[in-house]
Structure 1
Amino acid sequence: MHAQPGDWLVVKGPRTGAPEQRGRILEVPSADGTPPYVVRWTADDHVSTVFPGPDAIVLTAAEEQAAEEHARTRYDRVQRFIHEEDGHARVY
């Protein structure tokens, strides 16, 4: 695993349905980009030093932005297909 400041650390949830944790990598003390990383977590703005495990991935800022855009597009598409009629939600 290699990272640089500005990349994102994404830690998958420990079980199905558990939320993943995301944080912006602030510092990478090693010259070769290997852990540990200093991360600011988006959920609570907490800063910690992290040695990521096998359930973690590093995304560049561009990859993170593309993933966010994909999620927004998917959400918008689903919302367009939901139509509420007579108090019942229908998906077309």
Structure 2
Amino acid sequence: MTAPAPAGKDWRTEHVPPAESTGNSMRARVGDEIVVRGTAPGIIAREGEVVGVHHPDGSPPFDVHWGDTDRVTLYFPGPDAYIKHLAHASGPDGHGA
């Protein structure tokens, strides 16, 4: 017999990022935020700002400015990371206002 699912919010679906924000299809632009999930439900291990993109299509790796250390590092995101696409000054199509 299996136990019923716990009632209340399911932490795994609280924030489900779009497919282009995770995994092998991850794409970012300068100014986006990268979030690395922690090992416990609802915990964020790190957050940083993408300050450099090495490929024209926005695929990894990224140069990330980490708020917790105030350092910029070359980052190859794993499955525990996702991108929060933020509004960009260049406009929604990336070609100016």
The TM tier, using the shorter chain, reads: 0.5 to 0.7
Query: Aligned equivalents of 2:44 and 2:30: distance in 1?
Result: 24
Match of 1:33 in 2: 58
CA shift for structure 1 position 15:
3.1
- Which consecutive aligned stretches of 4+ in structure 1 deviate over 6 angstroms post-superposition? none
Whether contact under 8 Å (2:36, 2:44) holds in the other structure is no
Whether contact under 8 Å (2:65, 2:72) holds in the other structure is yes
Structure 1: stretches of 5+ with no match in the other structure: 63-92
Quick check: which one's strand share is greater?
Answer: 1
Structure 2: stretches of 5+ with no match in the other structure: 1-25, 88-97
Aligned residues, how many? 62
What is the TM-score of this pair, normalised by structure 2?
Answer: 0.58
Provide the identity percentage. Answer: 40
Q: Residue type of the partner of 1:37?
A: F
Largest Rg, 1 or 2: 1
Query: Aligned equivalents of 1:17 and 1:60: distance in 2?
Result: 20
Query: Aligned equivalents of 2:71 and 2:86: distance in 1?
Result: 19
CA shift for structure 1 position 18:
4.8
Q: Deviations over 1:50-75 (max 9, x none)?
A: 0000010000224xxxxxxxxxxxxx
Indicate whether 1:4 and 2:29 are aligned.
yes
Quick check: which one's helix share is greater?
Answer: 1
